[in-house]
Amino acid sequence: MNTMRRNPEGIAEAIRKAHTVALVSHVNPDGDTIGGVLAMRLILEKLHKEVTLFCDGKVPDSISILPGAELFRVPEGTEGPFDLLLSIDVSDENRMGRSAALKKNSRTTAQIDHHDTNPLFMDINSVDGTAPAVCLLIREQMKVLGVPLNRDIAACLYTGLSTDTGNFAYASTTKECFEVMSELMDTGFDLSEMNRILFRVKPRAQIRLLGRALDSLQFRGNGKIAVMTLTRKDFEECGALSEHADTIVNYGLDTIGTEMCMLAREAAEGTVKFSLRAKEPMCVNDIALFFGGGGHPQASGITMAGPLDEAAAKVLAEMEKKMEA
Ligand SMILES: [Mn+2]
């Protein structure tokens, strides 16, 4: 029986046996998966491993300042062979995108993750569904490997820790976050500059897109459900990219009286991408799962076929049903 648990010793053993290592992030990469992979790259290079980084997607601009971010390759699926493939923050095999094809070119597969829906899809799994960020598990992993912290690794781990905990504000934030933060601070990494780049500065296109989304804001379900939509035309006229919509959903949730929020955006090839959020004790991952998506209880996503209005109406109907229940 596979049970979900942290297994830093198992991962360390696999790393020690390997020379060539492929590190894999999830699709639609965020600060935790990118920060985690880049920290792990620095750790593995200290151990003289030959490391290749794969991400099926574009690293968001705000995190492209991290050391090594330019080294990510978009997988073709034919690369390798690798002694070890190690995915970081990937909740299921589909979330590897085209990197999943690298599994067959890898002698051993392993993962470090923190999603409690993870089906443990690698040979070696170190998964803790209660950890608020995978970067927390990377800190533990480097202790087991005997690699010390430095400023660059701290910057990478901070990126994951701060983004996945909403700046240490989500209910998922644990004492361990602050213990690790204390260690990161000892390296002298530039906290205020990191915060400026990660959380404050935004491209003009993103601010314009935010305006469009707020213009679309509606309150349904007795005012408890906030709904926003963005069309392809909105993206085009603002000059915005998909990543520019990533945090907009929070404005709906932050409105007083709102318990659930949805942002529906037209994406590539006639699909619609949904970001769903909920205030505790409300959750949205069951709604996401119902439509073939997934995620965390209070933050989930769905991708489904369009058109936008029809898809949004379907998801909204489920949200309203849940709110009435
Ligand atoms: Mn994460």
Strand (E) positions, 120-259? 124-127, 218-220, 225-230
Give the pLDDT means over successive 10-residue stretches in the chain (325 positions): 83 98 96 98 98 96 95 95 98 96 97 94 97 97 98 98 94 94 98 95 95 97 97 96 89 95 93 95 95 91 95 97 90
- Which structural domains are found in the chain, ordered by start? 8-199 (3.90.1640.10), 206-324 (3.10.310.30)
CA of 114 to the centre of ligand 1 (A): 7
* Residue 325 CA to ligand 1 centre (angstroms): 30
Instruction: State the pTM of this model.
Output: 0.81
Q: How far apart are CA 256 and CA 294, in angstroms?
A: 26
- The confidence score (pLDDT) of residue 170 equals 87
Please list, in sequence order, all residues whose beta carbon lies within 8 angstroms of the beta carbon of residue 84, skipping any fewer than 6 positions away. Answer: 14, 15, 17, 18, 20, 21, 22, 106, 107, 108, 109, 110
How far is it, in rounded angstroms, from Cα 265 to Cα 238? Answer: 14
The reported pLDDT for the residue numbered 1 is 40
The pLDDT of residue 247: 86
**Interval between CA 39 and ligand 1 midpoint (Å):** 14
**Distance of CA 75 from the midpoint of ligand 1 (Å):** 21
Residue 20's pLDDT is: 98
pLDDT attached to residue 246? 83
Structure token digits, residue 42: 């620095």
Q: Residue 258 Cα, ligand 1 centroid: separation in angstroms?
A: 25
Separation of CA 296 and ligand 1 centre (Å): 10
